Amino acid sequence: MKASKQPTDETEEPSRAAGALVLAVLGGAVLAVVFALSVEAGILAVWLAAAIAVWWAASRRVSDSSAPPPPLPERPSCRECRGHELIGVTPLEGQKGMWIYKTAPPGRPHHTHIHLSSKETTS
């Protein structure tokens, strides 16, 4: 008996740079044809493409999460958080002034304590 061949599921996804290169080459070819037909139409096509590119870049929305505010300098002081090592501080999305404190208690390496604080930023 022959062993059946297993199909490989390693499909490579094309890169974005390759797609952009293909679009740039196609756009250059179209622009060359327009310039060959009429120089004035080619100049207008370049201006139109530039105006569309500027409009597209200006109309894109910027993510709010790209620059989170710095964490508060003081930590919450509850009896459960005493002696814990601070792992991280993150602002709570959708709740202005709310912070998520993650701490690790001593002696429990795989346990994380979460504490929510509603202190306003002082900066």
User: How do the domains of the chain map onto residue ranges?
Assistant: 18-57, 76-117
pLDDT at residue 7, as a whole number = 56
* Per-residue confidence in pLDDT tens, the chain, 123 aa: 555 555 555 677 778 888 889 999 999 999 999 999 999 999 999 999 999 999 998 888 776 666 666 655 566 566 667 777 778 888 887 777 788 888 888 887 777 777 777 765 443
pLDDT at residue 44, as a whole number = 95
CA distance 40 to 32: 12
Question: Considering the entire predicted model, what is its pTM?
Answer: 0.39
Tell me, rounded to whole angstroms, the distance of Cα 77 from its chain centroid.
34
CA distance 115 to 103: 8
Closest CA to 92 of 77, 61, 122, 114: 114
**H helix runs in 1-123, sequence order:** 16-37, 39-59
Residue 68: both structure tokens together: 């989170």
pLDDT at residue 101, as a whole number = 81
Q: Which helix (H) or strand (E) holds 114?
A: strand 113-117
Angle at which helices 16-37 and 39-59 cross, to 10°: 150
- Contact (CB, 8 A) for 85 and 104: yes
Closest CA to 105 of 121, 73, 82, 88: 82
